[in-house]
Amino acid sequence: MMYKSEEEFLRAYNPNDYDRLSLTTDILILSISDEVQTNYRKSNKKYMSVLLVKRNDYPYKDKWCLPGGFLDINEDLEECPRRILARETNLHDIYLEQLYSFGDVKRDPRMRVVSVSYMALVDKNRLKDNLSSNASWFNVNYFEEDDNVTVVLDNGEETIKFKIKKTLKESTSDKYKFEIIENDKIAFDHPLVIWSGIERLKNKINYTDVVFNMMPDLFALGDLQQVYEVILNKKLLDPAFRRIIADKVEKTEFVQTGAGHRPSALFRYKKSTKK
C-alpha cells in the first residue's frame, strides 16, 4: 500500500494492526549502609545495599521485588522510573541509568510484559525516614566463583540468597546468558536485574565518577575507600587507592574527630579536568 503523503498515511494507520503489550520499569536502587561498631575505636563497617519492596498481592505474593510500575502511555520511557523513584524516596534528583530490557514471553504470569530495568545510585542519608512502608534496605554480599555468583541479601530480619549462572552462548564468543539457578524469595526475573546492576556498578566505578552519587557531600578518604571495597568486593591498598582518586576529590578545611585515632580530613567530589 502506498500513500501520497505522510498525513494521508497517518490517517489510514491503525495502531491495532500490531500486537500491543504492557511495559514496566523496575529500578535497582543501590546505596551504602554502615553498621555501627560496638568498639568505639573501630570504624563502621560498610555495605552496599539494595531497596526491595514486599509484594502483598499475586503474583509472587509475599516475595520481595524491585520497586517498579507500569509505563504510562503519555510519559517518556525515562520518566517512568523517575516517577517511581520519587514515589519511593521523595527525591527527584537521583542518578539513574538504564540497565537492560527483559522480555521473555512467560516472565509475568499475568500477561505479556516487557520490563526495562534501571539502576539508581543514591546517598542513603538523603532519604532517612522517607521510605514507603513495605520497602526495606537489604545489605548485599556476593561471592563469585567461575561462572556462578551467589548473592546474599540481609535486612536484619530476613536473609535472601540467590544464585546466578553465566552460561556461554553457542556460536558467539564472549556473550553470556544469565540464568537463575537458585532463588526462592525474589519475584520475577529480578535476581538478574540485581546482579546485572552490581556488575555494571563494579565496572563503572573504575572508569567513571558514579560512586560519588552514593556519597555525602563531605567524606573521609577512608570511607570512600571502603565504599570502593564493598562494591568491588576486595581490599585495596591505601597508596594505590589514593593515587587513583587523587584528582577526583579535593580536601576541605573540615576534619572528622572523636574516633579514638588520628582525625581524617574531609574531602568533597571534584570533577576532574583531565581525561
Partner DNA sequence: CTAATAGTGTCTATTAGACAGTATGTT
Partner DNA sequence: AACATACTGTCTAATAGACACTATTAG
Interacting residues toward DNA by CB under 7 A: 39-43, 220-223, 237-240, 242-244, 257-265
* Terminal CA-CA length for the chain: 53
The size of the interface with its own copies (CB under 8 A), counted in residues, is: 61
Which partner, its own copies, DNA, none, binds residue 35 by CB below 5 to 8 Å per kind?
none
Grid coordinates of 232: 568491588
CB of 272 to its own copies, least distance (A): 10
Where are any strands of DSSP class E within 77-183? Answer: 95-102, 113-121, 135-145, 148-154, 159-168, 176-183
116: contact with its own copies by CB under 8 A: yes
Please state, as a whole number, how many other Cβ atoms lie within 10 Å of the Cβ of residue 203. Answer: 11
273: contact with its own copies by CB under 8 A: no
CB distance 121 to 89 below 8 Å: no
Which partner, its own copies, DNA, none, binds residue 253 by CB below 5 to 8 Å per kind?
none
Interatomic CA distance for residues 255 and 273, integer angstroms: 25
Which partner, its own copies, DNA, none, binds residue 93 by CB below 5 to 8 Å per kind?
its own copies
Which partner, its own copies, DNA, none, binds residue 264 by CB below 5 to 8 Å per kind?
DNA
Grid coordinates of 2: 502506498
Q: By CB under 8 A, what part of segment 45-64 binds its own copies?
A: 56-59, 61
Grid coordinates of 46: 560498610
CB of 243 to DNA, least distance (A): 6
CB of 248 to DNA, least distance (A): 13
Q: Which is nearer to DNA, 11 or 262 (CB)?
A: 262
Three-state SS string over 57-98 comes to CCCCCCCEECCEEECCCCCCCCHHHHHHHHHHHCCCCCEEEE
Taking CB under 8 A as the criterion, the residue among 112, 163, 200, 202 binding its own copies is 112
Q: Which residues of 140-160 are buried (b: 16+ CB within 10 A; e: fewer)?
A: bbbeeeeeebebebbbeeeeb
Which partner, DNA, its own copies, none, binds residue 259 by CB below 5 to 8 Å per kind?
DNA
Grid coordinates of 245: 582518586
Which partner, DNA, its own copies, none, binds residue 2 by CB below 5 to 8 Å per kind?
its own copies
Q: Burial-class residue 191 by CB neighbours within 10 Å (0-12, 13-18, 19+).
A: buried
List residues bridging with 7 in a β-sheet.
none
Q: By CB under 8 A, what part of segment 118-157 binds its own copies?
A: none
Which partner, its own copies, DNA, none, binds residue 101 by CB below 5 to 8 Å per kind?
its own copies
Name the segment binding its own copies (CB under 8 A); options: 15-23, 37-45, 142-150, 232-240: 15-23
Residues that bind its own copies (CB under 8 A): 1-3, 5-6, 8-10, 13, 15, 18-23, 56-59, 61, 70-78, 93-98, 100-105, 109-112, 114, 116, 170-175, 208-210, 212-213, 269, 271
